[in-house]
């Protein structure tokens, strides 16, 4: 039975997958810093902007979740599925996500963050060189 309103589910899900995207960004930064890239600064700058955007959005979502008394907690994980418990207004709703679907959601969020970061970045031209 569904206890969460559609909007509550959207907010908590976005918070959940945005948190996962932040972990991926942080891991990617470490890989680039340790990697064999000849010029890595621009990759690190892009990831830094993406992380900043994600942290700001997640902070706003967390504040909203606190106001509306919403929570999401991972309860189990296996090779195929991860289960989360969504809490709202004293009700609990368990949802199972197929792990490749989680990956796709996180990839989509990373793409959104990249687009936002690129829009805010100064454009390179020959004059800048």
* CB contact set of 22 (below 8 Å; sequence gap of 6+): 51, 54, 55, 58
What is the model's pTM?
Answer: 0.88
The 70-77 sheet, strands edge to edge? 70-77, 81-88, 91-98
Map out the domains of the chain as residue ranges: 6-121
Grade residue 113 by pLDDT with cuts at 50, 70 and 90.
very high
User: Which pLDDT tens digit goes with each residue over 47-80?
Assistant: 999 999 999 999 999 999 999 999 999 999 999 9
């Amino acid at each position: 039975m569904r206890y969460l309103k559609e909007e509550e589910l959207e907010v908590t899900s976005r918070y959940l997958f945005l948190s996962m995207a932040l972990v991926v960004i942080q891991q990617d930064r470490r890989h680039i810093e340790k990697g064999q890239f000849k010029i890595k600064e621009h990759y690190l700058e892009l990831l830094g902007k993406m992380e900043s955007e994600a942290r700001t959005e997640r902070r706003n979502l967390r504040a909203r979740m606190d106001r509306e008394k919403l929570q999401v907690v991972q309860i189990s994980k296996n090779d195929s599925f991860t289960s989360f418990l969504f809490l709202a207004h004293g009700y609990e709703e368990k949802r199972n996500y197929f792990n490749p679907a989680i990956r796709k959601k996180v990839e989509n969020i990373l793409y959104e963050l990249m687009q936002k970061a690129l829009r805010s970045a100064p454009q390179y031209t020959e004059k800048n060189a």
